[in-house]
Amino acid sequence: MPALDRHLLHRFGLLLVILAVGLGLSFVTDTFLSVANLTNVARQVSINGILAVGVTFVLLTAGVDLSLGSVVALSGVACATFAHPGDHTVFIPIAVGLLTGAACGLVNGVLVTRGGVAPFIVTLGMMTIARGLALIFSGGRPVANMSSELTSLAGDFLGVPIPVLCFASVATGAWFFLRNFRLGRHIYAVGGNENAARAAGVPVERVKLFAYGLCGLLTGLAGVVLAARITTGQPNAGQAYELDAIAAVVIGGTSLAGGVGTITGTLLGVLLIGEINNGLDLMGVSSYFQAVIKGVIIVGAVWLDRRQSRS
């Protein structure tokens, strides 16, 4: 099956880039290749990872979600507001955070499907609306005084950071879902050719609504994890998170035109970005150069990958 081969090559090429960068880093620094540091990388990528998995669904339907960062902030603020010690059991703030994210995603989805507004515009609007709401609910100040039950979500479970466990289960679930569920296959169909999918009886609108809703739910999860990690709900958190998430997905071989892409690819894209961020800090590269190097590596990785998959 040629399509399968192409995906294997995608992954293989990207895996090579990740290993090459990792190899380079373990030569240049004496700390990169240690359990403590790799745990570190895993912990730092988990928030971007959860977002990237969510937005993979949206990108597969040929949509886009630019509101990720703002919705992370809004969900974090919503979660922190209900997380003061002794107020509620820990499940309430978590549920509030998740539902806030899901609600934003569903609004995006409804406007895209029923309203017929372009996803770029809908989610651009949500980007500023969610940021504004986060500022309104928090009065512009970080929501502090969170219970230790909630902040312990950023701690470890059996030696593994809980954010990493969240990311791993989200990624595994999404991978399984896209491969084995009918709705998962429908997502590819909608992104590949919307009219053909509709003609074949795929409920296109419902599939898209699901993709945006799920993306929102996962964004809410990322907001809860971030709030637990920085022990506050920050209304100005998550600036430009959508860019890192979408970059990771695209590096992972998902087409912005929809219909093509895998969770495994997204996972690799997330790892590459995390590896670069961590490596540049370890090497003490100046702030001015970091941004440039990061951009060059991201574009370079995608270029190499595409070149390989064409040949």
- Residues in touch with other proteins (CB under 8 A): 29, 31, 34, 36-37, 40, 43-44, 131, 135, 139-142, 144, 154-155, 226, 229-232, 234-237, 239, 277-278, 281-282, 284, 286-288
Q: Which is nearer to other proteins, 257 or 292 (CB)?
A: 292
Query: Smallest gap, in angstroms, from Cβ of residue 205 to other proteins?
Result: 21
Radius of gyration (C-alpha) of the chain in whole angstroms: 19
Strand, helix or coil for residue 160: strand
Q: Which is nearer to other proteins, 223 or 252 (CB)?
A: 223
| Helix ranges (DSSP H) in 181-286 | 182-192, 194-199, 204-230, 241-251, 263-282
Q: Which is nearer to other proteins, 80 or 268 (CB)?
A: 80
Backbone angles phi, psi at 310, to 5 degrees: -80, -35
Supply the angle between the helices 263-282 and 241-251 in degrees, to the nearest 10.
Answer: 120
Query: Smallest gap, in angstroms, from Cβ of residue 108 to other proteins?
Result: 19
Q: Which is nearer to other proteins, 30 or 310 (CB)?
A: 30
Q: How far apart are CA 129 and CA 135, in angstroms?
A: 10
Report how far apart, in Å, the C-alpha atoms of 101 and of each of 54, 90, 220, 221 are.
Answer: 11, 17, 4, 8
Query: Smallest gap, in angstroms, from Cβ of residue 277 to other proteins?
Result: 7
If we measure between CA atoms, which residue out of 137, 102, 103, 109 comes closest to residue 123? 109
Q: How far apart are CA 6 and CA 289, in angstroms?
A: 34
Report how far apart, in Å, the C-alpha atoms of 244 and of each of 77, 189, 292, 295 are.
Answer: 21, 26, 14, 11
Q: Which is nearer to other proteins, 87 or 281 (CB)?
A: 281
Query: Smallest gap, in angstroms, from Cβ of residue 230 to other proteins?
Result: 5
Query: Smallest gap, in angstroms, from Cβ of residue 173 to other proteins?
Result: 25
Q: Which is nearer to other proteins, 259 or 279 (CB)?
A: 279
Supply the angle between the helices 35-60 and 162-180 in degrees, to the nearest 10.
Answer: 40
Query: Smallest gap, in angstroms, from Cβ of residue 70 to other proteins?
Result: 11
Query: Smallest gap, in angstroms, from Cβ of residue 201 to other proteins?
Result: 31
Backbone angles phi, psi at 143, to 5 degrees: -85, 110
Q: Which is nearer to other proteins, 150 or 226 (CB)?
A: 226
